[in-house]
Chain A
Amino acid sequence: MASSATPKYNSNSLESSSSKRALKDGTNWEQNEEIPRLPGETRVTDKEVIYMCPFNGPVKGRVYITNYRLYLRSVENDPVVVLNVPLGVISRIEKMGGASSRGENSYGLDITCKDMRNLRFALKQEGHSRRDIFEVLTKYAFPQSHNLLFFAFVNEEKFSENGWMVYNPMSEYRRQGLPNERWRVTFINEHYGLCDTYPSLLVVPYHATDDDLKKVASFRSRNRIPVLSWIHPETQAVIMRCSQPLVGMSGKRNKDDERYLDIIREANGQISKLTIYDARPNVNAVANKATGGGYEGEDAYPNAELFFLDIHNIHVMRESLKKLKDIVYPNVEESHWLSSLESTHWLEHIKLVLTGAIQVADKVSSGRSSVLVHCSDGWDRTAQLTSLAMLMLDSYYRTIEGFEVLVQKEWISFGHKFASRIGHGDKNHADADRSPIFLQFIDCVWQMSKQFPTAFEFNEQFLITILDHLYSCRFGTFLYNSESLREKEKVTEKTLSLWSLINSDKSKYTNPFYTKELNRALYPVASMRHLELWVSYYIRWNPRIRQQQPNPVEQRYMELLALRDDYMRRLEELQITNNSKISNSSASAASPSQMMSQVQTHF
C-alpha cells in the first residue's frame, strides 16, 4: 500500500500535531482524543472521508470542521496522517464527480488553497453525503460572503504579550529623530479626511502647510500625497512614498505638487536633484496617462530625475505564482527543473524588486539624495520598495520587533489592500484584485536573510508564520484594506494581533546567529547566481523535499552556546571557591578532563 510508504513529514507551523500517534486500542479514540481547538473555536461537523493524498495515495480518515479549521485524522495509518488547515487558506471549493460518477474515489470535494497546495477528499456517493460538508465548508471558509464574522472576532486566545502595542507611529517617527526642524508630524488625516487609505498620522516637510497638502492631494491618485517613510540619520536624505501624479493625456501640471516636491528636495540641505523612482515599466507609466495617471515629466519637474524600475503589475505576479505552483505541486518538475523555474519568472520578479530597493537605498545612503517612490496607487510595488530599502538601511527593522513595526507601518498602516489581495473570507477566488504582493516581499526578505545569515534577528520560521497567518484569519493583523476600515471594525479592540502570538514565544522565532550591527547598510546581490527558490516554503508540503529540522548547523551552534554558558558558570563558581579557600585543596567539582571530552573538536 502506498499509504505506508512515506510517513508524513512537516515543517509547517500549522501542522504541529501531526506526529501524534493514535491510541493503541483505537476503539473509542473519537471520544477520547480531542482535536486541537483554540479558545473560541467550535466544532461544526465531522465526516468520514478519504483524503486523496498526492504523496501517499488515498488515506481513510475523519474530517472535522470547526469555525476555524479543517482537521483530518487518518484512521488506519501508522503513523497517523493529519491535516490541519485553517479555513482561511481556502480559496476555492469545488465538487468533483456527480452522483453517477464511476470509478473509485471520483466523487468528492476539491479544495484549492492559498498556501501552495490543493486538497482532495473523496466521499461516499450515497445519500448526498457531500452536500452538508460542502455547505458548511463554504459558509465558514468564506464568512464575508455569508455575513459571518472572521474567526479573529470570536477567537478567545490569551497571550502574555499584546501585539497591538508593538507599533506606535509617533514613537517610530521619534526613533527616527522626527519631527525635527525640517519635518513635521501632521494630524490633517486624523479622520481620514485627506486620504482614506493613509494612516491618520503623517510626516511631511516642515515648510508645507496643511493647505498645501490638500492641494497636492488633488493631483495625486486617490489623494495619496508624498509623505515621509524614512530619514537617513546622517545624510538626512529621505524616502518618500506616494501615488502617481494625475497628469493624464493632456499632460496636466500642478504648481502645488511641483513646489511640494521641491520642498522635499531641499529639506536635506543637498543641492542635488530629487530622485523619483517609478516602480512601473516605462510603457505602463505612459499607458496610465490614458486613464488620467502618469508620471512626473521633465518640464514640470526640472529638479527631479525620474527612473523606471520595471516592476510588473499585480496580474503578472499572480500568473507567475500560479505557474510556480504548477511546477512544484504536487510533484516537483523532474527533468528540466531549472528551465521550468525560469519560465515561471518568479525569481526574475524577485530580482527586479530587490534591484529597485537597492537603488532606492543606495541613492539615499551614498547618493545622499532624497527619493520619491511611487507606482500607480502606491500601495503595492511602492510598499515593497520602501520597506525593503528601509530593511537594507536600518538595522532596527532586522530585529523581530523592528520588522513587525516595518510591516505594521509600510504595509498595514499605509493601506496595502490585504483584504483585496488575499481575499480574506471571500468566495470570489478569481477576483482580479488578488495578487501575492506581500508574499513576494516576504520572499525578498527571505532571500536577504539567506544571503546574510547573521544579519537578521528572526529566523525562517518567523517569516513562514507571518505568511501562514496572512491567510488564516485567526488574527486581526492583516484583515481589511486600510487603517480607516480597521478602525471602523474596531479590529484592535475585538481581535488579537499576530505579534501577540510571536512575541509571547520569541525564542521560537529567533535566529541564533544574529549579530547586532548598527547602521550598516545591507545590500543583497540581486543576481540569479544567488537567488534561489524558497523551497521550505513553496515546496513544504512535499515530503520528498525535506528540510532538515532542526537545522544541524544551528543546532550545533546552540549546543556550543549552552556549553559556553555552562563553562562560564562553572568558572565563576570555581573562582569563588578558589578564592574563599585559597589554601585548601580542591575537593569537589568534575575533573577537567571529563569536561574536555565534551568538545570533540579539532582545528
Chain B
Amino acid sequence: FSLQEILIKEPIEKEVSLRLLPGELLLCEANTVYKYMPEDGSNRGTYGKLVCTNFKISFLDDDSTSDDNEPQFKNKIVGENDITLQCVDQIYGVFDEKKKLLTGQLRKYPEILIIYCKDLRVCHFCLRYTKEEEVKRIVSGIVHHSQTPKLLKRLFLFSYASAAPNNTDGRNQTVMFDTLEDWRDELERTKGNVKYKVVTINEDYRVSEKLPLYFVVPICVSEESILKYEGRGIPIWCWSCHNGAALLKMSAFPKEQDDSTSQMQKAFLDGIYKTISKPPYELLKTDDLSSSLPSLQEIQTAYTKFKQLFWIDNGTDFWATDVKWFSLLESTNWLEIIRRVLKKAIEVVECLERQNTNVLLIEESATDMCCVISSLVQVMMDSYSRTKSGFQSLIQKEWVVGGHSFLDRCNHLHRSDKEEAPVFLLLLNCVWQLVQQYPPAFEFTETYLTVLSDSLYVPTFSTFFFNSQHQKDNSMSDESFRTQSGPFRFLTVWDWSVQFDPKAQAFLNNPLYAEKPKPDKSQRKTARFKHQRQLSLPLTQTKSSTKRGFFREETDHLIKNILGKRIGKLINSSDEPPNSFREFYDSWHSKPVDYHGLLLPRIEGPEIKVWAQRYLRWIPEAQLHGGGTIATAAKILDLMEEVQSLQAKLDEEHSQAISGDVHSVPLLRNSSRLSSLFPFALLQRQSLKPALPTSTWKDLEDEEDLVKRDDEFVDLS
C-alpha cells in the first residue's frame, strides 16, 4: 500500500480528553496520528492523538467522543481504541515500505506503526504527519513499555489497586478456594470427604511456595510425607466423581542423576502408591501427561503459527491466504492439539466413569497440562462446572489457586520468552468446542469465553497476573505497596460489573441454557439411578491385550517397576479392553444427550473447528452482514424479551392492577442487521459491497487432462 493513497483530510485538533483509570499515568503522546484500516484502494481512517500510559496505548479521535453511536457491548475499562500494554504482542514499523519488527532500542523511527495484539487486533498508525520528536517519544515509549522486561511491582495492577476505591464488594457466587471452608465445601459437594481431607500444613508456605495454602490429599497421606519432598510425589485431589472415583494430580520428581536419590524417591513413590491403591481407594491409573500430551513448547509453537493466520494486514493478505486456508490451518497443528487434549480428557473420563478407577495425572509441576485435563474432565462430568459460577470456581480451584504460572505463561513481564505457552487459552479453546457442540449445556456463551480470554491481558485484575497464591500474598503484604488507607485488595476478574454494565453482561449469559431442574428427594433417587444406568456399559471381554491401552505403555512399565509385583498385578487386572475408549465414545454418542449429565465432545476431524468469534472478529472481509450465529441468537433473545414482557402483563392482569402501559423492554437488536462480528468490532466495515476474493485459484496440477476438456465434446463448427 502506498501512503499517497491515504485520504488527506484536514486534521482537526479538537482537544479530546483522555480518560484515565485510578492510578493510570500519561507517559507520552503524539498528535496528528492517522489511524487507518488498510483496504483495497482506499485507506479509510481518522486523525487523532496517540497516547501511551502505564496501562494502555490509546488512540483519541473526535469520532470516539460522539456518543450517539453508543455500542451495546462496551468494555468500561478497555475502550475500542485502547490496547492494554499486556495485550500488545508484536510491534512492527514500516520504513520505506518495508516492515520491520521493533524491539528495544531504536535508531530509526518508522512512518507507520503496526501493532499486533494478543486479542488478534491489528492496528495501523501512520506517523508521517506527526512531529519528529513526538514520533520518537511515542514509538520508543510504546516499545519500551510494552516489549521490554518489567518488574512485577511495575505492573499497572499495583498502582490501580492502591489508587482505586475498594468499593466493589467482590462478592459473587464464585468460590475462590482461598479458605479452608471453600475446600471443605467442595469435598462435601462432591462427596469426596470420606476418603480425602484438606490439609493446613502449607498455611505459612512451609511445604512449597507453588502449592496453595490449603489443598486436599488422601486421608492416609501423612504430613511427614507431604513435607518430605516439598509436596512432590504426593497425590493431590482435584475432584471426586459420583461413583467415588477421584481425579488426582501429582508433581513428579525431576530426573535425578544420583542413583541413590532416585532409589529413595522410587521407594517413596512405591509407598505412596501402596497406600492409595488399596481399599477403600479404587484402583489407580496413572498418566504421565508430559509424555502423553504435546509439550508446552509444541503448544507455544503451534499457537504462534496459528495466531499469525488471523493477523490480517489488509484485504489482499486475507484473500491470498484464503486459497490454502485449510492446509495453512493444519500446518499450525493447533486444532490437532485441541483434538488430542480433548481425546485425553475423554480417556480420563472413561476411567473414572466406566472403569471406576482413580486417575492420577502426573506432570513435572502439575500446574500446566494437569490444569487443562482436570478442568476439562470436570466440565465434561460435572454440570456445575458448566454454570458461570461453577466454571469460575473451577478456574479458581485448578488454575489461580492451583498455581498455574499465569505471569510466566502469558509472559506479562517479558522476562523470559522460553516460559511462554498459551496453556490457559488452550483450555478455553477446548471448552469452546464443547460450547459450540452442545449449546444448551452451558450457562455462559462463547462471548463469555472470548471476553474471558481478553481479560488475560487486562491488568486491573489480579486473577491472571500472578504465578501462584504465594506470590500474590507476598506482594500484598509488601510494605511498599501499602496505601494510606491500609492494605489494598485486588479486584477479581469474576466481578464482571467492573468491565461491563448489566446490558452488556447479558451477552455473557446463554439464553439456550436450561437450568438443571431441582428435583425433590424421591425424584432425585430415580434420576441418579437413571444417570448411572445410562452411563454404565456392558463390559466386553478382552480378546487380547496386545494392543496398547490408552495410557502409555511406558507409564505402565514404569509403574510396574516402581511397585513391584503385587501392586503391578493389581494394576494389571484393571487393564481395559483395547477398544474400550472407542466403545465408550461410540456408545455415549449413540444415545440422546442429557445436557445436565456427562458430556463428551465429538473429536472427528470435521467436528473440531476454529473459534470464529475470537479469531475472525476483527477481520472486515470475514464479516457477514445480518448473518452468523448471532442472527439466530438475537432472535432468541428478542423472543425471550417478548415472552417476559407478556409474563409481566399477565401478572398485572391477574393482580387487576389498572395501569395503562406495562413497561416493555425496548427491543434493541435488529437481528437481520447485525453483523456476524457482533458484539465486537461494531463499526468496522459499513459498506454493503460484497467482499470479493482477489486471488481465487490454485492449479489443479494433478488433473491437467480433465481441466482441459470441454463439458461435452461436440464439434460446433
Contact = CB atoms under 8 A, between A and B. Distances in A.
Interface of A: 5-7, 9, 221, 246, 248-249, 281, 283-284, 287-288, 291-293, 310, 312-316, 319, 332-339, 341-342, 345, 347-348, 351-352, 355, 358-359, 361-362, 366, 375-377, 380, 432-433, 451-455, 513, 515, 517, 520-530, 532-533, 535, 539, 543-546, 548, 552-553, 556-557, 560-561, 563-564, 567-568, 570-571, 574-575, 578, 585-586, 589, 591-592, 595-596, 599-603
Given A246-B717, A515-B635, A603-B509, A348 B622 contact: no
Nearest to B508: A603
Contacts of B605: 332-334, 337-338, 341
A218 to B, nearest CB: 11
Contacts of A585: 656
Contacts of A291: 710, 713-717
B267 interface: no
Interface SS of chain A: loop
A170 to B, nearest CB: 31
B631 A454 contact: yes
A336 B330 contact: yes
A225 B287 CA distance: 71
A527 B700 CA distance: 19
A530 B691 CA distance: 12
A525 B711 contact: no
A548 B619 CA distance: 30
Given A315-B711, A574-B650, 6 more contacts: A9-B590, A281-B697, A332-B606, A337-B330, A338-B329, A578-B653
A552 B326 contact: no
Nearest to A379: B711
A215 to B, nearest CB: 17
Interface residues of B, number: 91
A451 B627 contact: yes
11 contacts: A249-B717, A313-B709, A358-B690, A451-B624, A515-B672, A520-B672, A530-B622, A545-B602, A574-B650, A595-B647, A595-B650
A192 to B, nearest CB: 19
A426 B714 CA distance: 22
A523 B629 CA distance: 16
B274 interface: no
A377 B712 contact: yes
Nearest to B646: A567
A549 to B, nearest CB: 10
A292 B710 CA distance: 12
Interface of B: 318-319, 322-327, 329-330, 335-336, 438-440, 502, 506, 509, 511-512, 514-515, 583, 586-587, 589-590, 593, 595, 602, 604-607, 610, 612, 616, 619, 621-629, 631-632, 635-636, 639-640, 642-644, 646-647, 649-651, 653-656, 671-672, 676, 688-693, 696-698, 700, 703, 706-717
Given A351-B696, A454-B631, A315 B672 contact: no
Contacts of B325: 342, 527-529
B689 A362 contact: yes
Given A362-B690, A526-B693, A556 B715 contact: no
A293 to B, nearest CB: 6
A292 B716 contact: yes
Contacts of A571: 646, 649-650, 653
B672 to A, nearest CB: 5
Contact of A355 (B606, B610, B693, B713): B693
Given A288-B710, A339-B327, A355-B693, A513 B650 contact: no
A591 B326 CA distance: 56
Contacts of A352: 696-697
Contact of A342 (B327, B511, B708): B327
Contacts of B642: 564
A246 B717 CA distance: 7
A292 B621 contact: no
Contacts of A375: 711
Contacts of A603: 502, 506, 509
B586 A545 contact: no
A592 B439 contact: no
B509 A544 contact: no
A544 B586 contact: yes
A319 B710 contact: no
B647 to A, nearest CB: 6
A292 B717 contact: yes
A433 B650 CA distance: 64
B643 A567 contact: yes
A602 B703 CA distance: 56
Contacts of B587: 5-6
A603 B510 CA distance: 8
Nearest to B589: A546
Contacts of A319: 703, 706
Nearest 5 pairs of A and B residues by beta carbon = A337-B605, A292-B717, A292-B716, A523-B690, A528-B325
Nearest to B635: A513
Given A9-B590, A567-B650, A315 B696 contact: no
Contacts of B703: 316, 319
Contacts of B708: 283-284, 287
Contacts of B583: 5
Nearest to B629: A453
Nearest to B652: A592
A332 B619 CA distance: 31
A545 B604 contact: yes
A245 B605 CA distance: 46
Contacts of A524: 624, 627
A78 to B, nearest CB: 13
A267 B624 CA distance: 33
Nearest to B714: A291
Contact of B621 (A334, A525, A602): A525
B520 to A, nearest CB: 14
A358 B692 contact: yes
A497 to B, nearest CB: 28
B578 to A, nearest CB: 13
B716 A293 contact: yes
Nearest to A599: B643
